[in-house]
Amino acid sequence: MFRNQYDTDVTTWSPAGRLFQVEYAMEAVKQGSAAIGLRSKTHVVLGCVNKANSELSSHQKKIFKVDDHIGVAIAGLTADGRVLSRYMRNECINYSFTYESPLPVGRLVVQLADKAQVCTQRSWKRPYGVGLLVAGLDESGAHLYYNCPSGNYFEYQAFAIGSRSQAAKTYLERRFESFRDASRDDLVKDALMAIRETLQGETLKSLVCTVAVVGVGEPFHILDQGTVQQMIDAFEIVAEQEGPAAEPDTEAGQEASAEPEPEQGAAAGEGVAPMDI
C-alpha cells in the first residue's frame, strides 16, 4: 500500500469506495505475530507465537484473560489490544454485577465491534490496529469469534490471524471437520501443529508459543511452559516435523542431477521468512 490523497482522514472515501486508513489498520493485523483459535463442542483453544524485538527483551503478552469464561488472543498493536481487553473486562464485571450471571460471548463481541466501528466514523479517532480472536463458553456452547478493526465480526470453527497465518489456515482447513467432536488434548495438539506451520523452519518449543484453554468445567487459563513442552514432547510434534523433512533429502540424494548445488541454493532462498514487524 502507498500513500495517496484519500488516506489523510479516516472519514474520506476514495472514488472506489474504500477507506484507506481502515485498510491500513487491517494491514497492521497481518504484520503482527500469528494467533490461532479453534473450538469443539466443549472447549476452545487459543495459541499465539511469542516474538521478541531483540534477544535482550522479553516477548509481549498476546493472550489475555477477560473473565472465567472468556479470553482473547491478539495480533497487531499490542497496546490497542491491551486497551480493548480492559474494556471487555469492565463490560463483563458490570454485567455480572447487574444480572448476577456471566456475560454471553456473542453480546460482548457485538459491543466490541460497535466500539471499533465508531473509530471508522470519527475524524478525530483512528481505527484500532489490532485483530482479536475471542474464545468463550456460555449457555449456548463454545464460541470462537474474530473481531476486525473495521468493526466486522465473524464466528469460526477455527481461524488464524497475523503474519504467516496462511500456512496455519491451510492446516486448519484440512482438519476442521474433526474439531467439533475432538477432545481437549486433540484440540491442543492441532493448535500446536498450526503454530508450527507459521514458524517456517524454526523448531517448535514452549518458549516460542503460548497456549490457553477454556471449556466445560475448565475456566479460561494459560498453560504454563512446562505443560506445553510436555505436550509437544508427548505428541512428538517436533519428530513429525523433522521426519518428513529428512525423507525428501534422502530421495533427492539418490536421484541427484548433474547440477545439485543450484537447486539447494534455491531451496534455501525459498525457506527464508520475511522479517516480522
Nearest to 32 by CA among 122, 149, 125, 116: 149
Question: Does 13 have pLDDT greater than 70?
Answer: yes
Give backbone dihedrals phi and psi of 20, rounded to 5 degrees, phi first.
Answer: -70, -35
pLDDT score recorded for residue 4:
75
Cα–Cα dist 145/185, whole Å: 21
Give the strand pairing for 63-67 and 218-222: unpaired
Do the domain assignments include residue 267?
Answer: no
Nearest to 29 by CA among 161, 159, 195: 161
Do the domain assignments include residue 252?
Answer: no
What would the mean pLDDT of 32-60 be, rounded to a whole number?
91
Handedness of CA 172, 175, 178, 184 (dihedral sign): negative
Query: How many domains does the chain divide into?
Result: 1
Do the domain assignments include residue 250?
Answer: no
Grid coordinates given for 148:
476486525
* Full residue range of the structural domain in which residue 109 is found: 20-240
Do the domain assignments include residue 10?
Answer: no
Cα–Cα dist 146/126, whole Å: 20
Do the domain assignments include residue 4?
Answer: no
Q: Tens digits of per-residue pLDDT, 177-228?
A: 999 999 999 999 999 999 999 998 788 898 899 999 999 999 999 999 999 9
Do the domain assignments include residue 249?
Answer: no
What would the mean pLDDT of 171-176 be, rounded to a whole number?
94
Do the domain assignments include residue 274?
Answer: no
What would the mean pLDDT of 139-152 be, rounded to a whole number?
96
The CATH number given to whatever domain includes residue 217 is 3.60.20.10
Do the domain assignments include residue 33?
Answer: yes
